[in-house]
A = this chain, B = another copy of it.
Amino acid sequence: MKGSTGEDDLVARLRRLLPATSNAVHAGIGDDCAAVAGGKRGILSLLKTDCVVEGRHFSARDAAPAVGWKAACRAVSDIAACGGAPRFALVTCVVRRGQSGRWLEGLYRGLSRAGRTYGFEIVGGELARTEGPAMISVAMTGEVPRRNFVPRGGGRPEDVLYITGVLGGSMRSGWHLRFTPRVHEAGWLAENFRPRAMMDVSDGLAADLPRLAAASDTGFVLDPSCLPRRRGASLQQALEDGEDFELLFAVASGRAARLEAAWGKKFPRLKLSRIGRLVPRGTAEGLGLANGFDHFTT
């Protein structure tokens, strides 16, 4: 379960209302996806649901196929962040008056293109009407070899923190409607470098990095001067805008140099930035932190 920024406490309260899960559940609430024992030996099934709401994640002016692409790729991004690949999707469209069958067809073209691109099949869903803003919710399953599953909370002190791509200005630049979920990169990382913790950055690094650290029971230090920013984005925007859908991950420090060399050969067109490291919980070294960002150490 993932709440909006500031709702983590509420999520924690709701979580306590649920019974303890069985040993079929490998990862549950608090990870990017739920991971449950699948049928195949050595394979975990990943389960994810993600919704986009008109006025917040897209606007009435956005092209319907782009909205469909985004709705599907958000869930794909979460499945990738666990090291997995998407498999099946169910799509719930709650549309408002004024959204025609033609709009819905455009939406489905975008969903369908995402399916062809990332290898999942849309096998069902639901249509409903609302008087409020439209909403598209995508429920997706995926698979990951158990040995490749990367949780959000496996980081340890001294692990090196990396981020892919650039951050900030996603809404303004339109990146949020045409982003590339990092499926191939995450699968390659999981297979070859065993990140200890990984998640996709969707609420902004300033919200998501503390979640990774808290789940790992560590603190962190972040070097703002290393943050990769989209052209025109300020440091604050890179930290807080959200909708980046890049991978944030922690790798054992002994693997860092080899990873950096291999990455450049494998993915020459996608930037990989070392942005800081995990530290023991409660220490606040403040390494390289500009004034005003003290609350980013925990």
> Would you give the 0/1 interface string for A117-138, flagging 1 where the beta carbon is closer than 8 Å to chain B?
0000111111111111101010
Q: Who on chain B is nearest to A134 by CB?
A: B132
Interface residues of A in 8-31 (CB under 8 A from B): 10-11, 13-14, 17-19, 21-22, 24-25, 28-29, 31
User: With a CB–CB cut-off of 8 A, which chain B residues contact A104?
Assistant: 10, 14
B135 engages A36 (CB within 8 Å):
no
User: With a CB–CB cut-off of 8 A, which chain B residues contact A31?
Assistant: 124
User: With a CB–CB cut-off of 8 A, which chain B residues contact A28?
Assistant: 121, 123-124
Query: In the assembly, what is the distance between CA of A140 and CA of B94, in Å?
Result: 18
User: With a CB–CB cut-off of 8 A, which chain B residues contact A24?
Assistant: 121
User: With a CB–CB cut-off of 8 A, which chain B residues contact A87?
Assistant: 36
Q: Looking at the assembled complex, report how far the CB atom of A135 sits from the nearest CB atom of chain B, in whole angstroms.
A: 6
Q: A19-B116, A115-B18 are in contact. Are A47 and B88 (CB under 8 A)?
A: yes
Contact of A90 among B43, B49, B123 (CB under 8 A): B49
Query: In the assembly, what is the distance between CA of A51 and CA of B127, in Å?
Result: 9
Q: Looking at the assembled complex, report how far the CB atom of A192 sits from the nearest CB atom of chain B, in whole angstroms.
A: 25
Q: Who on chain B is nearest to A123 by CB?
A: B34
Interface residues on A, range: 35 or more
Contact of A112 among B2, B13, B19, B94 (CB under 8 A): B19
A130 engages B53 (CB within 8 Å):
yes
Q: Any chain B CB within 8 A of the CB of A280?
A: no
B18 engages A112 (CB within 8 Å):
yes
Contact of A124 among B10, B47, B116, B133 (CB under 8 A): B47
A49 engages B127 (CB within 8 Å):
no
Q: A47-B139, A88-B47 are in contact. Are A39 and B36 (CB under 8 A)?
A: no
Contact of A13 among B7, B105, B123, B131 (CB under 8 A): B105
> Would you give the 0/1 interface string for A37-50, flagging 1 where the beta carbon is closer than 8 Å to chain B?
01111010101111
B51 engages A92 (CB within 8 Å):
yes
Q: Who on chain B is nearest to A106 by CB?
A: B17
Would you list the 9 A-B pairs with minimal beta carbon distance, nearest first? A132-B132, A39-B39, A139-B139, A39-B40, A34-B123, A49-B90, A34-B124, A17-B108, A28-B123
